[in-house]
Amino acid sequence: MVKKSNSNYTYHEYDIHSCIVIFFFILLQATYCTSNAMPLKYQKEIDGLNLQNLCPTETVSPLGVEVFRWSYNPITHERNFLPNVVFDRIINHPYPYHIKDNPTKCKRCGASFFTTIKSAVNAWENMSAQNKANLGYTHIASGILDEKDGLINKPSVTGHFGFYEFDTADLTRKFKILSELKNA
């Protein structure tokens, strides 16, 4: 502890730092609680899987960093930003949910995003031609997610994470097309 004085008052340096830490703790806690209370856009799909666990689990609020995902052009395309469970139904892709465990089913209820453009490109390049054709994505888009948009899972070592969108979010206003995907 360092004691500092001014002609009018004396204070301890750690007191100011403690106040700042407490303020940010309260701020973060409020964001966490508020975020968890907001309805998810695709809650109906989560409920339809009759999961025995809370879904999504182990999530946090995004902190305003740039993220990336495969997309269609234009960014307003109806299939952009869909979670896998909805996307599968639209393209008539029979995913074997009946043999999957609850965590896997829950992950399918989030949309796929990446922490870097490099991780998005690598994942695309390592995907089979058949999967690329099934998905039909043509571009990479980027945008900034924040606590008002939804919840994210902890990114994997490959930079992939699931995003669970809040009902009030409109990602088409926050994302832009960056480039075409090779071999799309």
Tens digits of per-residue pLDDT, 71-96? 999 999 999 999 999 999 998 888 89
Question: Which burial class, exposed, middle or buried, applies to 184 when counting CB atoms under 10 A from its CB (0-12, 13-18, 19+)?
Answer: middle
Tens digits of per-residue pLDDT, 126-177? 999 999 998 999 999 999 999 999 999 999 999 999 999 999 999 999 999 9
Q: pTM for the whole thing?
A: 0.77
Dig out the tokens for 162 from the structure.
């699931």
**Beta-strand (E) ranges in 2-74?**
3-5, 10-12, 59-60, 65-71
